[in-house]
Structure 1
Amino acid sequence: MLLKKASIVSVLALAVGVSAVGAASAATVTKASAVQVTNSTYTVNGIAVNLATFFEKGRTLVSLRDLSTKLGVKLQATKGVITATLKGHTVELTANSTLIKVDGAEQKLTVPVKSVKGVTYVELKTFVQALGGQFAKDASGTIWIDADLLGNVDRIQWVDSAKFIATQETETGRLDYLVDAQTASYEQLRILEEISDFVIAPNGAKAAYTNNAGEVFVIDFATKLSTKVSEDTSIKPELVWSSDSSIIYFLQGDKGSVVAKLDPATGTISKVLEDKVDYKANLDVSADGKTVTYTVTKPGAVVADANLPVESDDVAIDMKGTEPQIFAYTVDPSIKDNKPAQLSTTADDKVFIHAAADGSSVGYVSVSSEDEVKSTLVIVSNDKTSKTLFTEKDVYQAVVSGGKWYLLTEGNGSNQFVYEVDPATGAAKQLYTLSDTVSEIIVKSGSPFAVVNEGRVFLDINGQWKPTTK
């Protein structure tokens, strides 16, 4: 959920052109009949490599052999025609010709295919794109070449430091892929499209989800196989893993009235809390499993003149008192008349709600009904005291990872900022300055920092932004 809609501009000012290579990689032509070949540095499939290149007529030409080896292209020569294939795409080249065939269709080159000292060279940008690959230059000058990037990604979730799940929304449901963060290679997970969102276990080895019937499944990322762990068909609007990845907590019922838990090993479901209070949401469970936190939102009241007919349009909804409120429940059967405690009573909207690992407090972004009032980060403790941690900038998104808060906020002009906030001290540190078109940040302790812009995912790899989806 975002509080600000992004516009269409590049987060990194990517220049998808190869004519403006850096001074370290640009080669010059000393004579019309001679070329000067140099070793140029590129990042191919996530790995920095040197490729033999030269520059002519505003184009960079690359050693066909060098690039194909690094990119994973298969080459075959028959009767003077070189055929290059990569992931379903085919390119045919002939020495000294400005025409190539791309999947059977002719395409014209600016510079003909050339042979220099027995090595074949071809236009870099044209060749990469003809094979369905991607070529991008970031603001630092680093050039990224990828064989094939997953496109049309709606959101991602980190599995561990090396892999993430990328989800594409479809007309019939969703498609999920396991993506290698370094190489950007991906593999579709074989599951039904009509499922709930993946909830990845803290150990990164598996994820839980439900189908339309409410049955619970667990997918093992090592085997890519899903196992049905519960045939119970009650509605389960939220799934939450225990800290040791052994138990799945969830809200139960079409109104989220019950907090329950499931043991995936046995399929046993037991109730944790049943207090007859509807519309629970934002379920969280402390690391020791002793504290359950959630919000409750009361529905609006229908206001109408009793003298008017039921079908009249003159009906209003009174939304007073419907703001979400935060509750905490201590899971202890020995407590007599044990009831949840209401921690908040404020009239602000509450979004990006996350509980502390020890269950001692709950943090959220407070959104005022007044447009001119900034959204702030607030912490409310189990003793019902609250404090505002961050007020410097208007907060658009908040994520918790490794015990710290990460905020996407307003910036200056066309920028946005990312802050790291320590909930223990309230200290805020600015980490990034990003374009104001970044729509989301994805943070997981130990994994690269990720941002989404125009539906594309970029990863911070050693201080450089690597495009990982297209």
Structure 2
Amino acid sequence: MSMKKTLLISALAAAISTSVIGVASAATTQVTAPASFNVMVNDASITIRSIQSNGATLVSLRDLGSATGALFVVNVKAGVTAYFQGHAIELHADSKAATVDGQPVELEQAVANVNGSYYISAADFVGLFSVDAEQDDAGQIWIDSVQRIHADSIAWINANQLLASSLTEEGRIDYIVDAKTGAFKQVLSSDTASELTVSPDGTKAAYTNEDGSVNVIDLTSPTFASKQVSADSNIKPELVWSADGSAIYFLQGDKGTVIQKLNVADGTIAKVLDDKVDYKANLSVSKDGTKFYYTVTKPGAVTAPDKPVDQDDVAIDNTGTEPQVYFFDASVKDAAPVKLTTSTDDKIFVGAAEDGSKAFFVSITDGQPSSLVSVAKDKTVAKVIGDKDVLAATVAGDKIYALTDAGDKTTLSSVDAATGAVSAIGNLEGNVTEVVAAPNAPVAVIVDDQTFVVQDGGLTRITK
């Protein structure tokens, strides 16, 4: 059970106990008369009944269940079945045994039947119905039963929607998720498609199949129609949309050796760069489509190449395998890629400025705080955030959003990509691992594996 649910149970039980004791003082009886109090369920004020049974606080199953969206049917076994978000929950009076979708579940407290109404402990209700809630500073209990998906990765589509991907045993399912309510629609389910890449205008998403073909989904279509735009069979480990959505740039080959440009309208492919250098990654393209940033990571060298690599005496020399940032200007005739960095720190590539003037990465060195660093196309390197431990960052148009360590909290900040000016947005609690942003869209953060959107002066949870 999550910490949030545990806290909810304690707060709900305390609130109920106070309400019941205040209304019914017959502490000597085993079951008190029902007392009422208000709970906020999905942003609506709901009155529910509660009782004290043998010292335990129980709530009305029908009151709280109906408020969260459950449907109830009295069954022939003198029990009741609740149907909630695709699940069937069966309970019986005076029993600590329940079933969820036919599987037995042990309850903490026996269900009580008072004048034909079932009462259940707060802990058991939360566990059986898997709802989330919290208590605000004023003591008000807020219960949230909106059905949400779990997202393993997210990306903004537009200011109101995100693309969320959930990994399954069979592959991956992609959804469009409402950024305010968490409501979702399935876009694609596949065991062969690559990660979806959303176009800058949010109307399309591209992916490759295992045969190398490129497909584009119309995100505005009611059926999310998909169209193959290239049958080219080369491996394409990365796809990057052009700013106007007319082309898709990609790295070609299992080693990402070549940079290619695919015309979405007619499927033609044009070579951008083939310098025979392998292991390119993190391709970033300027708004005008002429300037390219990427990283190159050399593999380690086997010190005894004449022996099988699975032998114990075979060593790997990792000297010089740190990722380095490269720049290529396709507008310059006969231009060659420029190696912008040579440092031995580990580098997590963040992205590049829209005008192609510089790129950004998080520099990681053992024993030192990680820093946000910029490197210009003339090789000028500057620390953008150097006084705090940078945990993650992302580029969104002319802004960079960064997460930095603030002790028991995490600070979310915005950075002007042109000037480097840093502005703190706020401090976040919990295990904050990622920030996701896009031009003209809110900022989303991943906290405790859940997606929250920064809006209206607070955080709105949209995935579970």
Normalised by the length of structure 1, the TM-score is 0.80
**Quick one: higher RCO (CA 8 Å, sep 6+), 1 or 2?**
1
Identify the residue that residue 3 of structure 1 maps to in structure 2. Answer: none
Identify the residue that residue 414 of structure 2 maps to in structure 1. Answer: 420
Distance in 1 separating the partners of 2:160 and 2:212: 31
Distance in 2 separating the partners of 1:426 and 1:374: 19
Are the equivalent residues in 1 in contact too, given 2:452–2:462 (CA < 8 A)? yes
Are the equivalent residues in 2 in contact too, given 1:401–1:443 (CA < 8 A)? yes
Q: What is the letter of the counterpart of residue 294 of structure 2?
A: Y
Instruction: Summarize the Cα distance change of 1:310–1:102 in structure 2 as closer, same or farther, 3 Å threshold.
Output: closer
Are the equivalent residues in 2 in contact too, given 1:64–1:122 (CA < 8 A)? no
Identify the residue that residue 202 of structure 2 maps to in structure 1. Answer: 204
1:406-445 maps to which residues of 2 (within 5 A)? 406-412=401-407, 414-435=408-429, 437-445=431-439
1:274-285 maps to which residues of 2 (within 5 A)? 274-285=274-285
Distance in 1 separating the partners of 2:375 and 2:399: 16
Once the two structures are TM-superposed, the CA of residue 236 in structure 1 deviates from its matched residue by 0.6
Once the two structures are TM-superposed, the CA of residue 21 in structure 1 deviates from its matched residue by 6.8
2:206 match: secondary structure = strand
Are the equivalent residues in 2 in contact too, given 1:17–1:136 (CA < 8 A)? no
Identify the residue that residue 355 of structure 1 maps to in structure 2. Answer: 352
1:174 match: secondary structure = strand
Instruction: Summarize the Cα distance change of 1:426–1:26 in structure 2 as closer, same or farther, 3 Å threshold.
Output: farther
Q: What is the letter of the counterpart of residue 19 of structure 2?
A: A
2:322 match: secondary structure = coil
Among 382, 386, 400, the alignment partner of 1:387 is 382
Instruction: Summarize the Cα distance change of 1:409–1:164 in structure 2 as closer, same or farther, 3 Å threshold.
Output: same
1:264-303 maps to which residues of 2 (within 5 A)? 264-303=264-303
1:184 match: secondary structure = coil
Distance in 1 separating the partners of 2:260 and 2:299: 23
Distance in 2 separating the partners of 1:257 and 1:465: 42
Once the two structures are TM-superposed, the CA of residue 143 in structure 1 deviates from its matched residue by 2.2
Higher mean displacement: 85-94 or 424-433:
85-94
Identify the residue that residue 27 of structure 1 maps to in structure 2. Answer: 19
Distance in 2 separating the partners of 1:101 and 1:316: 57
Q: Deviations over 1:341-383 (max 9, x none)?
A: 3322333222133110111111111122xx2122111111122
Structure 2: gaps spanning 5 or more residues: 27-31
2:9 match: secondary structure = coil
Q: What is the letter of the counterpart of residue 424 of structure 1?
A: A
Distance in 2 separating the partners of 1:285 and 1:410: 30
Q: Deviations over 1:16-55 (max 9, x none)?
A: 416437879973442246544344323x2xxx11101244
Identify the residue that residue 339 of structure 2 maps to in structure 1. Answer: 342
Q: Deviations over 1:233-280 (max 9, x none)?
A: 101111001122221110112221211111222222111222222221
Once the two structures are TM-superposed, the CA of residue 398 in structure 1 deviates from its matched residue by 1.3
Q: Deviations over 1:84-121 (max 9, x none)?
A: 42233234678xx45596456687655635579xx987
Distance in 2 separating the partners of 1:265 and 1:279: 29
Q: What is the letter of the counterpart of residue 271 of structure 1?
A: K
Once the two structures are TM-superposed, the CA of residue 445 in structure 1 deviates from its matched residue by 4.8
Distance in 1 separating the partners of 2:38 and 2:268: 62
Identify the residue that residue 9 of structure 2 maps to in structure 1. Answer: 17
Instruction: Summarize the Cα distance change of 1:112–1:381 in structure 2 as closer, same or farther, 3 Å threshold.
Output: same
Distance in 2 separating the partners of 1:13 and 1:67: 16
Identify the residue that residue 29 of structure 2 maps to in structure 1. Answer: none
Are the equivalent residues in 2 in contact too, given 1:375–1:395 (CA < 8 A)? yes
Q: What is the letter of the counterpart of residue 30 of structure 1?
A: V
Q: Deviations over 1:131-154 (max 9, x none)?
A: x44133267566232143334x42
Normalised by the length of structure 2, the TM-score is 0.81
1:27 match: secondary structure = helix
Identify the residue that residue 327 of structure 2 maps to in structure 1. Answer: 328
Identify the residue that residue 397 of structure 1 maps to in structure 2. Answer: 392
Q: What is the letter of the counterpart of residue 270 of structure 1?
A: A
1:183 match: secondary structure = coil
Are the equivalent residues in 1 in contact too, given 2:353–2:397 (CA < 8 A)? no
Among 447, 457, 461, the alignment partner of 2:451 is 457
Q: What is the letter of the counterpart of residue 87 of structure 1?
A: Q
Give the count of matched residue pairs: 443
1:67-216 maps to which residues of 2 (within 5 A)? 68=66, 71-75=68-72, 83-91=81-89, 97-98=93-94, 102-103=99-100, 112=112, 126-127=124-125, 129-130=127-128, 132-137=129-134, 143-151=142-150, 153-216=151-214
Are the equivalent residues in 2 in contact too, given 1:352–1:398 (CA < 8 A)? no
Once the two structures are TM-superposed, the CA of residue 188 in structure 1 deviates from its matched residue by 3.6
Are the equivalent residues in 2 in contact too, given 1:155–1:166 (CA < 8 A)? yes
Instruction: Summarize the Cα distance change of 1:321–1:411 in structure 2 as closer, same or farther, 3 Å threshold.
Output: same
Distance in 1 separating the partners of 2:170 and 2:346: 32
Are the equivalent residues in 2 in contact too, given 1:216–1:228 (CA < 8 A)? yes
Once the two structures are TM-superposed, the CA of residue 123 in structure 1 deviates from its matched residue by 5.8
1:57-72 maps to which residues of 2 (within 5 A)? 57=52, 59=57, 61=59, 64=62, 68=66, 71-72=68-69
Once the two structures are TM-superposed, the CA of residue 66 in structure 1 deviates from its matched residue by 7.5
RMSD (Å), alpha carbons: 3.7
Q: What is the letter of the counterpart of residue 383 of structure 1?
A: D
Structure 1: gaps spanning 5 or more residues: 1-7
Once the two structures are TM-superposed, the CA of residue 297 in structure 1 deviates from its matched residue by 2.6
Once the two structures are TM-superposed, the CA of residue 436 in structure 1 deviates from its matched residue by 5.9
Q: Deviations over 1:171-214 (max 9, x none)?
A: 55333333334433434434321222111122222211111111
